[in-house]
Amino acid sequence: MEGLNLISTFAEFKELKNIDRPTMMSVLEDVFRSQLIKMYGSADNFDIIINIDKGDFEIWRNREVVEEVEDPNTQISLKEVSKIDDSYEVGESYTEEVKLSEFGRRGILTLRQNLAGRIMDIEKANVYAKYLDRVGEILVGEVYQVWKKEVLVLDEEGNELLLPKSEQIPSDYFHKGDTVRAVVSSVEMRNNTPVITLSRTAPKFLERLFEQDVPEIYDGLITIKKIVRIPGERAKVAVESYDDRIDPVGACVGVKGSRIHGIVRELRNENIDIINWTTNPQLLIQRALSPAKISSIKINEEEKRVGVYLKPNEVSLAIGKGGSNIKLAGMLIGYEIDVFREVDEDEEDVMLDEFNDEIDQWIIDSLKQIGCDTAKSVLAIPIPELVRRADLEEETVAEVIRILRAEFENDTKE
């Protein structure tokens, strides 16, 4: 009965872990042989017969009949054999069954533990191999546990996956039992355990969403050339069609936005700009900075910088909320973009150099290097963007803005 219970346990492992039959048979035999080696010193003269379907097994020990025993494991004396069967002669092979009870309670427990360990190792290897092939694919899982720095997600087979806080959209908020969609971003082994990391912020996630919702992309009629994102805020997607009859932007948006709306909702209302890809750099820059209308463009290939000149009322559109539009445009084209504000002759403005009694000259020079040589050209750019481009402290920029605004407020009062 103990043997039957043990093999039933093996069968349960097989069904639960979905391990193929040859592997299961090999594991069972290895586990038994390891235990036999501990008991007898060697297992070369043992036959192990396992029948998983019937739920039983047999272990047979083969020993040579000899006059005088030198190795009790591989030899048995003629005198001892004759007590059981007097038909044996010296030199013949004597076979007897080894009952599970001979392993003892501790031995049986060791068998169970060894099997559990081997099965677990195989299962970990299977999970690792499975997800290594799925990197870049979208996965749908169920939130099982929510922690401060990450979310534990279970797939349809109960495998544990991690969605770190850094890979979540800032406005993501999950509860236990929620369904979550994410892309498999990485798979690695840590301490012999597979760690599968998911991401909702990777450009690949947005790309896969488009493939799911836009048949032309899935069929290869439209190609996504590049995606850049500020997760949860804004994204730019450059697409190209290999069929002149297909409008790639229109196909991605869908009738009345039917296709893009589902993607936007999945990304927590992330604004998505879809543009036509082109190999013409100037045209690509114009499209990347949409909806702003550019007056002229100067490209510096050596420094990988682009200077764009715009009318005053177009500057804020080009930069976008918090500088998101110009930042993404630069990421899309692979150049640093400097915005220059064209000043109308009739428009009142003040050169920055006239503020050198209130603003240090080195600060003025830093601002002029990014194309801001007048007060209004500085005021037209958000503080975070000025901090980044001019490499100034936020407090310094805030003080400059205060001084410049005061100049025009005084003019208004007068």
Mean pLDDT of 333-346: 76
User: What pLDDT digit, counting tens, does each position of 230-273 carry?
Assistant: 999 999 999 999 888 899 999 999 998 899 999 999 999 999 99
pLDDT at residue 377, as a whole number: 81
* Residue (of 104, 113, 103) closest to 37 by Cα position: 103
Mean pLDDT lowest among 14-28, 39-53, 127-141, 276-290 = 14-28
- Kindly report, residue by residue over 175-196, the tens digit of the pLDDT: 999 999 999 999 999 988 999 9
In whole angstroms, how far apart are CA 66 and each of 52, 60, 83, 88, 137? 36, 19, 14, 10, 66
Q: At which of 152, 174, 201 does a domain end?
A: 201
Q: Is the pLDDT of residue 309 over 90?
A: no
- CA 45 – CA 43 distance, rounded (Å): 6
Last residue of a domain, one of 160, 178, 201: 201
What local confidence, expressed as pLDDT, does residue 340 receive? 80
Q: What is the pLDDT of residue 215?
A: 93
Q: Are residues 20 and 82 in the same domain?
A: yes
Q: pLDDT-based confidence at 412, cuts 50/70/90?
A: very low
Q: Could you tell me if residue 264 is inside a domain? A: no
Residue 262 inside a domain? The answer is no
Do 170 and 61 have their domain in common?
Answer: no
Asked whether residue 12 is assigned to any structural domain, the reply reads yes
Q: What interhelical angle do 2-17 and 21-40 show, nearest 10?
A: 140
CB 411 within 8 A of CB 378: no
Residue 86: partners with Cβ closer than 8 Å, 6 or more residues away: none
Q: Are residues 26 and 76 in the same domain?
A: yes
Q: Which domain holds residue 187?
A: 134-201
pLDDT level of residue 307 (50, 70, 90 thresholds): confident
The top-scoring range by mean pLDDT among 62-76, 185-199, 306-320 is: 185-199
Are 175 and 138 contained in the same domain?
yes
pLDDT at 4: 45
pLDDT, greater one: 154 or 312: 154
Number of domains the chain is built from: 2
Instruction: Say if residue 153 is in the same domain as residue 60.
Output: no
Residues 154 and 101 occupy one common structural domain: no
Predicted local confidence at residue 382, as pLDDT: 82
**Spatial CA neighbour of 400 closest among 336, 318, 381, 308:** 381
Q: Where is average pLDDT lowest: 7-21, 174-188, 287-301?
A: 7-21
| Residue 344 predicted with pLDDT over 70 | no
Confidence of residue 172 (pLDDT cuts 50, 70, 90): very high
**How wide is the angle at C-alpha 16 spanned by C-alphas 13 and 22, nearest 5°?**
60
| Most trustworthy range by pLDDT among 85-94, 148-157, 381-390 | 148-157
